[in-house]
Amino acid sequence: MKKSDVEYFYDEFSSQQIDTGINRRHQSIDSWSRKFGLKDSDNVLEIGCGIGTQTELLSKRITKGQIDSFDISSKSIDLAKKRLNKRNNITFTVGDITEAKLKTNFYDFILLPDVLEHIPIKGHGKLFEKISLAAKIQAKILIHIPDPHHNQWVSIHRPELQQIIDQNLFMPIIVNPIYDAGLCIEYLETYDLHTNDGDYQVILLRKVRDKLYNPLIRSKSPMAKLIWKLKSFLYRA
């Protein structure tokens, strides 16, 4: 699929986001962020900000830190800038996050609010490597996604609700790119938001100590990767 097709879809999708506004999903993500320790002085990276609905909630929490928000849709970014034009601690950037130049070792909190399922799986490795380099050693990385079983049901029975790229992210799909990037899963929960059968998942990642891993000098040999995973396991134990 061409990147231009994706950009066009989200440019058009922005009007639907305006009609929806801040909803239960945004409020739930905000609640999870607070539960996992979001502080007013945190520097925050938001990946997939859309028209700035989640950013608006973030801006009420982040009064001393910086918020850097990215989206692939230029129209969405324009709307987000207008929405939050009085906030002087927010920057909005248009672009593909897997190709963006991010600040190194800068962010205390990184948020992916229902966006990972819309980023092609083949780009997840590059994405998590960039996140790992951008995150401080104690950073919290919060991923919110539809439960893959629920998303699969929607794709069959309610396909009109799906976006242009809407992947079912079962754990085996996303675990390897996460751990290969020097990150690890600290918390995972499937919970009820709109249904009673667990329609969303929240995943908290953290960065593994630099002395065990550095994605800039990662070896591509299978043996090196095995040693890294064993070290990571021993460290977590």
108-118 pLDDT tens trace: 999 999 999 99
Looking at every residue in the chain, the average pLDDT score rounds to 88
**What confidence tens digit (pLDDT) does each residue in 30-67 have?**
999 999 999 999 999 999 999 999 999 999 999 999 99
Q: How many CB atoms lie within 10 A of CB 20?
A: 13
The pLDDT of residue 217:
44
Closest by Cα among 68, 49, 170, 207 to 113: 49
What does the pLDDT read at residue 225?
A: 60
**Which of 237 and 106 is assigned the larger pLDDT?**
106
Q: CB within 8 A of 19, min separation 6: which ones?
A: none
Give the burial string for 127-161 (b: 16+ CB within 10 Å, else e): bbbbbbbbbbeebbbbbbbbbbebbebbeeeeeee
Range of the domain at 167: 3-236
Total domains present in the chain = 1
- Alpha-carbon gap, residue 24 to 147, rounded angstroms: 16
Q: What are phi and psi of 172, to 5 degrees?
A: -60, -25
Task: Note the pTM of the prediction, 2 decimals.
Answer: 0.85
8 Å CB contact between 106 and 83: no
Question: What is the rounded distance in angstroms from the CA atom of residue 117 to the CA atom of residue 125?
Answer: 14
**pLDDT above 80: residue 222:** no
Enter the tokens of residue 98: 């897997």
> What's the pLDDT band for 21 if we cut at 50, 70, 90?
confident
Tell me the pLDDT band of 11, cut-offs 50, 70 and 90: confident
Stronger pLDDT, 130 or 18, i.e. the higher one? 130
pLDDT per residue as tens digits for the range 143-189 = 999 999 999 999 999 988 888 888 999 999 999 999 999 999 999 99
Give the C-alpha separation, 17 to 14, whole Å.
5
Q: What share of the chain is helix, strand, coil (3-state, %, to 5)?
A: 45, 20, 30
**Residue 13's pLDDT band (cuts 50, 70, 90):** confident
Residues 6 or more apart in contact with residue 142 via CB below 8 angstroms = 29, 32, 33, 36, 109, 110, 111, 112, 202, 203, 204, 205
C-alpha to C-alpha distance for 6 and 13, rounded to whole angstroms: 10
**If you search the block for the tokens 């000098």, which residue do you land on?**
217
CATH number at residue 20: 3.40.50.150
